Amino acid sequence: MRRLIACGAVAALMLVLGMTGNAQFWDKMTNPKVSIPLTHPPDLGLQINKIAFGPVTGEGANEFVDALTERFVRSGIEVVERSRLEALLKEQNFSLTGYVDQQSAAQMGKILGPAVMLFVNMQRHTFEKKRLYENSKDYKGIVHRTNIARTQAFVRGSIRSVDLATGRVFAAKVLEASPLVENRITDGGLPEFQDEFALFDRAGADIVLQATRLFLPWTETVQVYYFDDNTCGLKQAFARVKVGDAPGSLQQSMSNLEQCKVLPKADLKALSHAYHNVGMSNFMIGDYQKAIENLNLAQQTKPASIFVEALAEVRKADMLLRESRRVEERAAITAADAEQRVQASATAAGAQTMTNKDVTALVSAKLPAAIIITKIRSSTCKFDTSTEALIQLSQSGVPADVITAMMECKK
């Protein structure tokens, strides 16, 4: 008897679970989905306004940099011209190589200001063509041969980033793509190969997209269910969603929820659907905390996998929003620090600017001419080299080679 009771209980439980599973399956089959965009912060966690490219190496590297530059410019980011960068670094006697540590990054930051410097290295840029075949039988047992012409491109490179505002050096990020195309002919001749250059274009666009996500916000679209039941008027809320009226859908959903709460006979399924729709409307307008609150109420009212899946997407959106705000806060702090450094540097430069009076004082102190010249060449100068001033310098005993160095010093 006990065994029969136990078996009956198990059977009843399985029946309930089966009914629950079928109900959830039916909900997913009969209710529409809505698309909601989620904005990701840059993968490196940086908010950038200026980018400079260091040395680029490897086949296809220049084409990659050109495409990436175009994407940055379209996004409103200033890209330092490579010729201008070389001139600036040469003027400062700075040798730019593929390796940059925090100290040299800080030095470049003084020259370029807050910026990110990128180093690109392409390691693979090739393609492969293969002829293959497949045999298959039809229902009569006749063998058919399909000839295949497979073309595949392989592009692989890396991009290393240096934040000149903070001196932070990031590890190299590998970028790779290997698109392929197969042309097929069954029971016929040999198909032609796909043009490899078209595949290189596809691969290039793919790795450019991977690279831009490191430095720019990017968007993905998620799809979640929205109930359009006739009960409680849920269909009216979905009608607002279809025309892009998210605030209107929220207002209608909240009205639907109140209708469900006062139904003569409790309908937990309809009530949970109403809570879900309110949560989804909150999700669409970016009120993630309210969305989580209503989706939890939907799950508590009548548990379903649809609510769990929607909660996961909303929590993800909330996490991304928080991360985006942290990136903006860090950018504001970095910009303020950079401004303070610029002001401090300008103040220090003004204090160290050499004038005729400084040179005369060094000569009076009987310092060797070679030392005075070295000091002039390593300092910011503001010399008066007019005829009268040169005569006065000579009368003060300033050597001719020191005067020459003063005239050659850049203001």
Token duo for residue 15: 């029946």
Mean predicted confidence (pLDDT) in 397-404 = 90
* pLDDT (0 to 100) of residue 7: 46
* Axis crossing angle, helix 246-261 with helix 234-242, rounded to the nearest 10: 180
The residue-averaged pLDDT of 32-57 equals 90
Q: Inform me whether the pLDDT recorded for 17 exceeds 50.
A: no
What integer is the mean pLDDT of 350-355?
Answer: 71
| pLDDT computed for residue 85 by the predictor | 77
Q: Where are the beta strands (DSSP E) in 59-142?
A: 78-80, 116-137
Using DSSP, state whether 192 is helix, strand or coil. coil
C-beta atoms surrounding 296 within 10 Å: 14
Q: Is the pLDDT of residue 176 over 70?
A: yes
CATH superfamily of 27-42+217-351: Tetratricopeptide repeat domain (1.25.40.10)
* Per-residue pLDDT at 210 exceeds 80: yes
**pLDDT value of residue 126:** 95
Homologous superfamily assigned to 50-213: Lipoprotein like domain (3.30.160.150)
Note the Cα 256 to chain centre separation in Å.
Answer: 39
The packing angle between helices 102-112 and 305-352, to 10°, is 70
* Average pLDDT estimate for 59-77: 93
- Long-range pairs, 243-247, Cβ under 8 A, ≥24: 246/281, 246/284, 246/285, 247/285
On the 0-12 / 13-18 / 19+ scale of CB atoms within 10 A, 171 is exposed
pLDDT at 336: 63
Please state the rounded mean pLDDT for residues 49-74: 91
Q: Could you tell me which residues come within 8 angstroms of residue 312 by beta carbon, excluding any fewer than 6 positions away?
A: none
Contact (CB, 8 A) for 1 and 189: no
SS3 of residue 364 by DSSP: helix
- Is the separation of the CB atoms in 98 and 57 below 8 Å? yes
Q: CB within 8 A of 404, min separation 6: which ones? A: none
Neighbours of 81 (CB within 10 A): 11
pLDDT tens for each residue of 218-228: 999 999 999 99
92 pLDDT tier (thresholds 50, 70, 90)? low
Within 13 Å, how many C-alpha atoms sit on residue 317's CB side?
Answer: 27
pLDDT at residue 20, as a whole number: 53
pLDDT band at 47 (very low <50, low <70, confident <90, very high): confident
From 237, 240, 246, select the one nearest 273 (Cα to Cα): 237
3-state secondary structure of 248: helix
DSSP for 143-186 reads EEEEEEEEEEEEEEEEEEEEETTTTEEPPPEEEEE--EEEEEEE
* Domain layout of the chain by residue ranges: 27-42+217-351, 50-213, 353-408
CA–CA separation, 252 vs 234, rounded Å?
8
| Structural contact between residues 188 and 146, judged by C-beta atoms closer than 8 angstroms | no
Confidence band, pLDDT 50/70/90 cuts, at residue 109: confident
- Segment 377-387 shows an average pLDDT of 85
281, exposed or middle or buried, with CB in 10 Å at 0-12, 13-18, 19+? buried
Check: pTM over 0.85? Answer yes or no. Answer: no
Burial of 233 (0-12, 13-18, 19+ CB in 10 A): middle
Whether 10 has a pLDDT exceeding 80, the answer reads no
**Phi-psi region at 248: left, alpha or beta (left = phi > 0; alpha = psi -120 to 50):** alpha
Sign for the CA dihedral angle at 66, 68, 69, 75 comes to positive
Q: Among 48-57, 95-104, 273-282, 318-327, which stretch is predicted with the lowest mean pLDDT?
A: 95-104
Judged against a pLDDT cut of 80, whether residue 260 lies above it is answered with: yes
Q: What's the pLDDT band for 104 if we cut at 50, 70, 90?
A: confident
* Residue with the larger pLDDT of the pair 346 and 264: 264
